[in-house]
């Protein structure tokens, strides 16, 4: 392991909670595709399978920030365990109802309940932020490491989920995902020494973290980014089917995640100067530009190369986003703020996959890549328009009448401008 990564794991407990986070995040890449595989095998109804997957994604998008808000107030242990148990029970109900061919509306009820799954990635990043607060260099490396973990889940999770459901029994993928969630959550919450200190209601700032103007820009941009991810998944499967190698779609998509994983590993080794808002805009624009080659590919090998290149800009942009969330959201709402970016991605994935499916049906798989291309342009426009909101604002003087209404920083003070030479 490169030296900067070895250094961040020098603190007690870091290896253990990061490993627990890996297990707890596996359902993120396994559950949705596992439900699609299971339902399509049991019923042959792809429309129902897709609708259930979308219900799960939208439910998680709505419930995730609310769970994280409770975590900020009451602590990870008190909130994550009950939330995970609700989600696991709903998954069990979904598997049973699908197996017994119960009415469709019961399936949708259980799919919505399964969306109670906590945002484990946000919980792990909040622990890193607590440990390395005031050490931006180490925190940058820690966020890069967690992006590597995210991409690792997306490389192996779908292959594992689809493989077990097709080779063993249809319910195997979602069942294993629920098992990962249980082990990850209970292992993580047993580690009390690294758990961030909760902020009770009487000390908790009023309102949602989404009131932050900077966070609003990040979330809207991530809706467009999520649309890219959702559209690429759908169109790549359709493209592979058109060229007669549908089974290769999972490998091509794994290459996409591999590109992001490799870039994240390198990005964590860099010590960059300047404010992260500039790198965020550059990263979002790079994602948009990387969609152009997808419009020109005509074979799976070329598609794999184009997706690998497209993946190179993802992890660095995600790492930079977490740094901006940590800057623009009060300390007492950090977990909630990080969860809102996941919500933006989830909503975008649902929108992108739906739009891509419609375009593929109407014009073919090759034209389907116009959807992630358009989403990339939209994301770049939002990032440009919101750039000023992401930059640090000068602190008002003591005589400034507006000072009384200035937003408080993480420690309750008015935020000070950061030097352009500070390490991100």
The DSSP secondary structure of 58-110, one letter per residue, reads HHHHHHHHHHHHHHHHH-HHHHHHHHHHHHHHHHHHHHHHHHTT--HHHHHHH
- CA 189 to chain CA centroid, Å, is 21
Domain at 59, CATH number: 1.20.1250
- Do 248 and 168 share a structural domain? no
Cβ atoms of 155 and 26 closer than 8 Å: no
Sign of CA dihedral 319, 321, 325, 326: positive
CA-based R_g, the chain, Å: 21
Is residue 403 situated within a structural domain? no
As a whole number of angstroms, the distance between CA 7 and CA 141 comes to: 9
What per-residue confidence (pLDDT) applies to 399?
Answer: 41
As a whole number of angstroms, the distance between CA 135 and CA 131 comes to: 9
Is residue 276 situated within a structural domain? yes
Instruction: Give how many domains the chain has, as a whole number.
Output: 2
C-alpha torsion angle, residues 197, 202, 203, 209 (rounded to 10): 90
As a whole number of angstroms, the distance between CA 44 and CA 134 comes to: 54
Q: Which residues contact 351 (CB under 8 A, 6 or more apart)?
A: 223, 226, 227, 230
- Do 381 and 245 share a structural domain? yes
As a whole number of angstroms, the distance between CA 419 and CA 388 comes to: 16
As a whole number of angstroms, the distance between CA 349 and CA 336 comes to: 20
- Do 104 and 219 share a structural domain? no
Residue 114, judged by CB atoms within 10 A of its CB (0-12, 13-18, 19+), counts as buried
- Do 328 and 227 share a structural domain? yes
Cβ atoms of 80 and 118 closer than 8 Å: yes
Domain at 220, CATH number: 1.20.1250.20
- Do 234 and 180 share a structural domain? no
Q: What is the DSSP letter of 406?
A: S
* Bridge partners of residue 203, in order along the sequence: none
As a whole number of angstroms, the distance between CA 244 and CA 238 comes to: 10
- Do 224 and 184 share a structural domain? no
- Do 22 and 82 share a structural domain? yes
Is residue 77 situated within a structural domain? yes
Q: How many CA atoms lie within 13 A of 221 on its CB side?
A: 31
What per-residue confidence (pLDDT) applies to 121?
Answer: 85
In the structure encoding, which two tokens stand for residue 84, read together? 């995970």
What per-residue confidence (pLDDT) applies to 396?
Answer: 41
Which residue range forms the structural domain that includes residue 304?
208-392+416-424
- Do 89 and 181 share a structural domain? yes
What per-residue confidence (pLDDT) applies to 398?
Answer: 40
> If residue 6 lies in a helix (H) or strand (E), which one and from where to where?
helix 3-8
Q: What is the mean pLDDT of each run of 10 residues along the chain (424 residues)?
A: 76 90 88 80 73 82 84 87 94 90 90 87 87 82 85 80 81 91 94 82 59 84 89 81 75 86 84 81 93 88 92 89 81 77 82 80 83 93 88 50 39 35 31
Cβ atoms of 398 and 223 closer than 8 Å: no
What per-residue confidence (pLDDT) applies to 101?
Answer: 85
Is residue 400 situated within a structural domain? no
As a whole number of angstroms, the distance between CA 312 and CA 41 comes to: 34
What per-residue confidence (pLDDT) applies to 202?
Answer: 47
């Amino acid at each position: 392991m490169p030296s900067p990564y070895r250094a961040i794991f020098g603190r007690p407990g870091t290896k253990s909670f990061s490993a627990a986070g890996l297990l707890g995040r596996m359902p993120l890449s396994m559950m949705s595709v596992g439900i699609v595989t299971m339902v399509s095998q049991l019923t042959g109804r792809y429309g129902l399978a897709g609708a259930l997957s979308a219900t799960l994604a939208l439910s998680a998008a709505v419930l995730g920030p609310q769970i994280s808000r409770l975590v900020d107030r009451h602590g990870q242990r008190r909130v994550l365990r009950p939330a995970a148990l609700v989600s696991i029970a709903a998954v069990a109900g979904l598997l049973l109802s699908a197996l017994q061919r119960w009415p469709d509306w019961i399936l949708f009820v259980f799919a919505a309940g399964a969306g109670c799954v906590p945002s484990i990635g946000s919980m792990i990043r909040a622990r890193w932020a607590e440990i390395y607060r005031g050490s931006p260099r180490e925190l940058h490396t820690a966020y890069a490491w967690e992006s590597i973990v995210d991409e690792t889940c997306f490389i192996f999770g779908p292959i594992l989920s689809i493989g077990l459901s097709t080779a063993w029994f249809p319910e195997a993928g979602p069942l294993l995902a629920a098992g990962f969630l249980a082990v990850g959550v209970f292992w993580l919450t047993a580690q009390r020494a690294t758990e961030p200190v909760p902020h009770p209601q009487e000390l908790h700032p009023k309102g949602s973290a989404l009131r932050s103007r900077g966070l609003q820009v990040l979330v809207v941009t991530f809706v467009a980014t999520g649309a890219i991810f959702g559209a690429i998944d759908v169109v790549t499967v359709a493209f592979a089917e058109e060229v007669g190698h549908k089974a290769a779609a999972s490998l091509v998509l794994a290459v996409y995640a591999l590109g992001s994983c490799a870039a994240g590993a390198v990005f964590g080794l860099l010590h960059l100067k300047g404010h992260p808002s500039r790198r965020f805009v550059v990263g979002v624009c790079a994602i948009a530009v990387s969609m152009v080659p997808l419009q020109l590919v005509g074979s799976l090998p070329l598609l794999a190369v184009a997706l690998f290149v497209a993946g190179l800009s993802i992890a660095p942009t995600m790492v930079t986003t977490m740094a901006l969330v940590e800057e623009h959201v009060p300390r007492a709402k950090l977990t909630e703020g990080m969860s809102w970016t996941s919500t933006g991605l989830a909503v975008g994935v649902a929108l992108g996959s739906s739009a891509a499916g419609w375009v593929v049906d109407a014009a073919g798989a090759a034209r389907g890549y116009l959807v992630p291309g358009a989403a990339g342009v939209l994301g770049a426009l939002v990032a440009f328009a919101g750039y000023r909101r992401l930059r640090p604002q000068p602190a008002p003087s003591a005589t400034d009448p507006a000072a009384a209404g200035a937003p408080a920083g993480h420690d309750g003070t008015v935020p000070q401008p950061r030097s352009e030479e500070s390490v991100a």
